[in-house]
Copies of this chain bind each other. A is one copy, B any other.
Amino acid sequence: MSFFKPNFRHPESPKNTLGLTTRAYEGGISTLCAGCGHDSISAAIMQAVWGLNIEPHRIAKMSGIGCSSKSPNYFLNKAHGFNSVHGRMPSVTTGANVANRELLYIGVSGDGDTASIGMGQFAHVIRRNLNMMYLVENNGCYGLTKGQDSATADAGSKNKKGRINPFESIDLVALALDLGATFVARSFSGDKEQLIPLMQAAMTHKGFALIDIVSPCVTFNNHAGSTKSYDYTRDHVQAGSVVDFVPVAQEITLDQIQGSTQNVELHNGDSVRLSKLSKDYDPTDRGHAIRTLLEHKAQDKLMTGLIYIEPESDNFHDTLNIPKTPLNSLKEDVLCPGKSALTSINEGLR
């Protein structure tokens, strides 16, 4: 349990235009591991929503199952949330969203929740261009079930048992581009400076907005050669097959300038090469986005930033041609055709 509380409790904390401090956007105490990337993302969400001057209760927090999917409980206490079933957050969100188009939907999922059991629903919520922000808190493993490889684990990476993952990882960004997503971004949990504005852009986007967020699992990535001082403990843990030893770790943060490429060392000693898109990158050309992504991949770089946006597209509400008034607020007078309508229907049935 990381007694995770964002550090903006100061009495003179700034207020947004609604007159609310970030305090109004807080959630419950996190029960995730100390240093878990997911907690940084929760903090970023609070900041992003606060900064957008949205009342917390205008948000609905949707998730599947996993450490990541628990996290909606740790931000925006004043918003309703739905921690549904594993891999099926998209469908629950679709129903909720069609029922009330006035709320802002934040879907939080994990890489297991999305790329394995949830692959089908992920593809189809994209295809419908549902108006929501979909966050994948991507740690390349199944945190909550203790560290198995997920489908986004990099090929060649070692899992906690020291076995090399033989499978190519699924790149959710590439997939989303392919499936016609209208907002596609990638970021890193420790990079608030990039993440918060990306979230704000995603929440402002009218349509489906994916942010694939690399979010290191501090607990189940502690197997490979890390700093020397950990060695003895690790040996100990491995030899004794202690299943429940979780060294307390530091959150990985990063703060870099646009356009650069930076090596980020993870807890397992692996590293990712994050590369921020340069200012002159044009995110409105899907073909260009796919090609740029391919180039980055060829250089083993993880491209971060707003990769693609299609500002004017029909989202699912438009497709369905539903009214501006939320369906859930329509009353009997509008919904029920009543006796007279039935009389003429009866006539047609003779």
Contact = CB atoms under 8 A, between A and B. Distances in A.
Contacts of A168: 127, 179-180
A171 B286 CA distance: 15
Chain A at the B interface: mostly helix, strand, loop or mixed?
helix
Interface residues of A, number: 27
Contact of A174 (B116, B166, B178, B291): B178
Nearest to A128: B167
A232 to B, nearest CB: 26
Contacts of A128: 167
Nearest to A297: B287
Given A175-B178, A178-B174, A298-B287, A167 B119 contact: no
B124 A151 contact: yes
A116 B170 CA distance: 19
A246 interface: no
A318 to B, nearest CB: 8
A174 B179 CA distance: 9
A166 B321 CA distance: 11
Contacts of A29: none
A290 B319 CA distance: 29
20 contacts: A118-B120, A119-B119, A119-B120, A120-B120, A123-B170, A124-B151, A127-B151, A127-B167, A127-B168, A127-B170, A128-B167, A166-B319, A168-B179, A170-B179, A171-B178, A174-B178, A175-B179, A178-B178, A290-B290, A291-B291
Those 8 A-B pairs whose CB atoms lie nearest each other, nearest first: A119-B120, A168-B180, A120-B120, A166-B319, A287-B294, A119-B123, A174-B178, A178-B178
Given A168-B179, A287-B298, 8 more contacts: A117-B120, A127-B151, A127-B170, A128-B167, A167-B319, A175-B179, A290-B294, A291-B294
